[in-house]
Each structure stands twice: as structure tokens, then as C-alpha cells.
Amino acid sequence: MLKKFFQDLFLCFCLVFFLFIAVEAEKLGNFRDDLTLKIFNEKCGIEMMTQLLYQKYPGAQPGNNPAFHELEEFTAEYTSRRKSDSRNLSRISSGELKIIPIVFHIIHQNGEENISDEQVLSALQVLNEDFRDNNPNRANLVVDFQGLEGDAMMQFALPTLDPDGNPTTGIERIYDPNFEYGDDFLMQETYNWPRDMYLNIYIVKHAHSDGYAAYSFYPSAVNSRPELDGVVLSHWACGTTGTALWSHYRVIAHEVGHWANLIHTWGDKYAVNNSKACRTDDLVDDTPNCIGLKGSDPQAGPDGCNTEYESCTSLDMIQNHMDYSFCPIVFTLGQCVRMEACMNFHVSDRDYIWTYENLVDVGLAE
């Protein structure tokens, strides 16, 4: 009798959970309503893909890679200087606005992964909202972290000229039956545009064969492999309309954060939800220590957004873009300064992509 009671209780819980998901999806209107178990996948595959990168190119490993140490040393010095130059923390990320040319390569097999221009443009809007601290849910930021929000002073724009100087919309569609999954390095090697001119975004059916929604690499890891520099997104983790999933539509900001040298809030030594991560750091002062929270974890709650969650004796900032919750809202001031440092250093051409000379070459300036 007792066993049947708990079975019925469990079934009721499952029913309530999936009803909640359905209601949330309906409230968001623009999102697809055929939600699947994809929402339980981890958002980011940077750890697994970086290990593959290291296996194929051992020189990319931090111990063999001068670019890693050069960038981190510059970042530490730059951050210290920006702090001392600012009279108060709220001014620390008031640097120069940088326009970043961004190109979307849609690699498709004539399926739903061949998303519409509208869906791509909605992803671009989300990206610009998040990097300029204009997230529409900003008012929902937990009180404990209000005042730490940062404007990264980076704005992403579609170019009007391709690498050969021909007109482009910045959205490229490529039929290729060989790249249903985006974890084959040959895809980027085949279709990349010069990384000193464009941020390459690849839209595919699935970013990774193990189900990760997206991935990118740290700048230092691909300093000597320019063809692998960029962001790979599953089509269902892109934008706010069409095939987009409500739980993953801001993943693009997370991955571009990695592109600009941000680490997961729990650091990069351990996987998400590993208690050992309490002893590691993301090299940013104003993000609290944590072990990370996946939106699909039970402790994340039915909406994937338990803002009262504590993993390392203090409140987790699960609304940070570099966490795995379903409710990312902000980058912190410290994260913005770390990205600013990256964009002012030569590793992986980050200090050139936003220059006036390049903006002229891609048709975004005269």
C-alpha cells in the first residue's frame, strides 16, 4: 500500500513538472511547443571539445602554449589597472564600444536545422541584449547581486561584405550532408571566414553527438588554429522563434563569453556539480564560488531557476550567463573587464576584429 502511494506521488510530480514546462513554453509563445528531452542536455561542450583539441593538437595545451600564459598575465595586469583607474566599481566596465562583425553559417541537410533569417536575427538581438546589459528580465536579478551587472560594451553586427569584398547578408546557407553534428573539426576548417575579420557562428542540427547544445574555445586554445575559432550552436539553441527551445535561447551569450575568454562560474578544472569546484575559481572577483547548476537538475526547481540555491556556503549566482541554469540574465562587472582585456590583446586577433580598418573591410564603416 505504501509502495503504491509513493508510486502515485512520483507520477503526480512528473505530471506537474511537464505541465509546468508546457505552460512556460506556451507563455513564451514564439518558441516551439514540441519540447523534448533536449532540455535536459548540458548547455556547453567546451570541456569535452577542448580535450579533443588537445589530443589532436598538443601544442594548444596550456603547458605547451605561450599564448595561454601571455593572455592571462595581460588580463591580470589589465584588470588591476582598470580597478585602480576607476573611482568606484560601477565605472569599471565603461570602456570603448566595440562593434564585432558576426557571420552565421547555417550548415543544413534540408531539415529544420535550416532555420529562418528571422530566427537568426532573434539570436543576434538576444546576444546584443546580454552583452549590453539590456536583458529584458534584468529586473528579476536577485537583490544580493544587484549592482554587480556589467555592460561589456560589445555590439555584434552582420557584415555587408564577405572576405572577397562581395555583398553579403552575414547569413550563409550551406547544404552539406556530412555535418549533421558540429563536433567534426573539418566543418569549421571547411567553412570558416577569417577570424580576424568575423566572429564565426555555425548553426547545425546538433552541436555535439553527445547532446551538448553548443560549444566554443578559449582564445588561447585556438591561437594557432584560426580555422577552429568560433561558436557552434544547435539550431534549437539559437534565437527566440522557429525551432528555438525556451530553456536554451540565451546559450549564444554563454558561448561568446568563452570566445571572449570567460570561464564557467565554477572554474574550468572540474565538470559542473562537482563539489571539488568549491576550491577552484573563474578568475573573476565578483562571481561567488559555486559548483554550477544545470537547469535540469532537481535542485534547480521545476523552472530550472532556483535563485536560493547555495553550493559553496554562499548564494550561487545562477542568473549569470556563464552558469547552466535556465534563467541567465547578466555578466558581472568583473567578467566584463576580463572580456575587455581579451579584446585588447593580440591572442586570436581579438584586438583587430573591432578596429575601424576591419569594419571598413566588412562593410560596417566607411
**Is 290 within the bounds of a domain?**
no
Domain interval for residue 219? 28-264+333-361
Residue type (1 letter), 207: A
- Separation between Cα atoms, residue 360 and residue 353, nearest integer Å: 11
Which value, to the nearest 10 degrees, does the dihedral of the CA atoms of residues 98, 101, 107, 112 take?
Answer: 70
- Separation between Cα atoms, residue 180 and residue 176, nearest integer Å: 8
pTM above 0.95, yes or no: no
Q: Summarize pLDDT for 51-60 with one digit per residue, the tens.
A: 999 999 999 9
**Is 297 within the bounds of a domain?**
no
- Specify the pLDDT at position 93: 53
Q: Which residue has the higher pLDDT, 76 or 24?
A: 76
Residues designated as active site? 255
Lowest-confidence range among 11-20, 57-66, 160-169, 304-313? 11-20
**Is 69 within the bounds of a domain?**
yes
Q: Summarize pLDDT for 94-150 with one digit per residue, the tens.
A: 568 999 999 999 999 999 999 999 999 999 999 999 999 999 999 999 999 999 999
Would you tell me the crossing angle of helices 333-343 and 66-85 to the nearest 10 degrees? 120
Give me the DSSP letters along 33-99. S---GGGGS-SB-HHHHHHHHHHH-GGGSGGG-HHHHHHHHHHHHHHHHHHHH-SSGGGTT----EE
* CATH number of the domain within which 158 lies: 3.40.390.10
Please answer whether residues 225 and 57 qualify as being in contact, where contact means their C-beta atoms are separated by less than 8 angstroms.
yes
Q: Which of 342, 364, 339, 71 is nearest to 197 (CA)?
A: 364
**Which one-letter DSSP state was computed for residue 294?**
B
Q: Per the structure, how many domains does the chain have? A: 1
**Is 284 within the bounds of a domain?**
no
**Which one-letter DSSP state was computed for residue 222?**
G
**Is 162 within the bounds of a domain?**
yes
**Is 10 within the bounds of a domain?**
no
**Is 201 within the bounds of a domain?**
yes
